[in-house]
Structure 1
Amino acid sequence: MDQEPGTHEEIQAFAATFGTSFPLFAKADVVGSTAQPVFQYLTAHLGDPKWNFTKYLVGRDGHPFKRYGPKTPPLSLEDDIESLLVAPRAKL
């Protein structure tokens, strides 16, 4: 999709200008035949991301639970996260 034209190093440097103090993942494909395996798994179950900042929630059993759009505030996932945390653990 090439939405981010920079290299991994350029992206890291750009993020640093905003004072980021958390680790960033390396640039990776999230759709198509070159998508990283985790995104192949998530999109097979929940569909492709709508745009940047699409969020995927996965239960502690490893099963994809829900996809949220880019404009969904992260704090609005709280109820879903809490419901997954109280759900019984699946037997593996």
Structure 2
Amino acid sequence: MTVYDFTVQTADGKEISLNKYEGEVLLIVNTASKCGFSPQLKELQMLHDTYKDKGFTILGFPSDQFMNQEFADIQDTLDFCQTNYGVNFPIYAKTKVKGEDSHPLFSFLTGSKKGFFTNEIKWNFTKFLINRQGYVVKRYAPQTKPFKIAKDLEDLL
């Protein structure tokens, strides 16, 4: 099984298959607009801009499972990310990333690469680096700044 086997919901409510990203290097991030880590969106966008022409895409999945740090309306989330951080990488619908109701994609991600203290996602801005074959190669803690991922990313490109 790979990330390409999953479907996700776009911000406008459509179901799409992640196989549309087949052959690309991905960074999948659970985001939250009102989180202390949300300034990472700027660095994430810079990574995206730097490497997108080499087959790299960031996929953002807003979640409000951690102290309700996401807007109720997805349009507010999209506006916040674009206005404050210039985000133009894909932001998907609000997604459950932990617990019994977690989206199957996030169950797969956390099952593929364990966290330091727990298998579950423990906070917003947990990041998963995916190789061109669709496998998780590395998991990063929320406090890991996106620029620190660049070396690992370059190795995959």
TM-score, structure 2 as length reference: 0.45
Deviation at 1:8, TM superposition (A): 2.2
Deviation at 1:38, TM superposition (A): 1.4
Does residue 31 in structure 1 map to residue 103 in structure 2? no
Counterparts of residues 64-79 of structure 1 (less than 5 Å): 64-79=136-151
Equivalent pair of 1:53/1:70 in contact (CA under 8 Å):
yes
Aligned to 1:41: 108
Listed as ranges, the gaps of 5+ residues in structure 1 are 86-92
Which structure dedicates a bigger proportion of its chain to strand?
Answer: 2
**What is the RMSD computed on CA atoms of the aligned residues?**
2.3
Deviation at 1:36, TM superposition (A): 1.7
Paired AA for residue 82 in structure 1? E
The alignment partner of 2:94 has SS state of coil
Distance 1:17 1:58, change over 3 A: closer
Listed as ranges, the gaps of 5+ residues in structure 2 are 1-64, 114-118
Distance 1:76 1:9, change over 3 A: same
Equivalent pair of 1:56/1:64 in contact (CA under 8 Å):
yes
Deviation at 1:14, TM superposition (A): 4.2
Provide the C-alpha distance between the structure 2 equivalents of 1:19 and 1:75, rounded to a whole number of angstroms: 15
Does residue 12 in structure 1 map to residue 78 in structure 2? yes
Judge which range, 13-22 or 37-46, deviates more.
Answer: 13-22
Equivalent pair of 1:7/1:27 in contact (CA under 8 Å):
no
Larger Rg: 1
- Same amino acid, percent of matched pairs: 36
The alignment partner of 1:79 has SS state of helix
Distance 1:6 1:62, change over 3 A: same
Equivalent pair of 1:31/1:39 in contact (CA under 8 Å):
yes
TM-score, structure 1 as length reference: 0.70
Distance 1:84 1:12, change over 3 A: closer
Q: Deviations over 1:19-67 (max 9, x none)?
A: 6452422111011222222111101112322311111111112111111
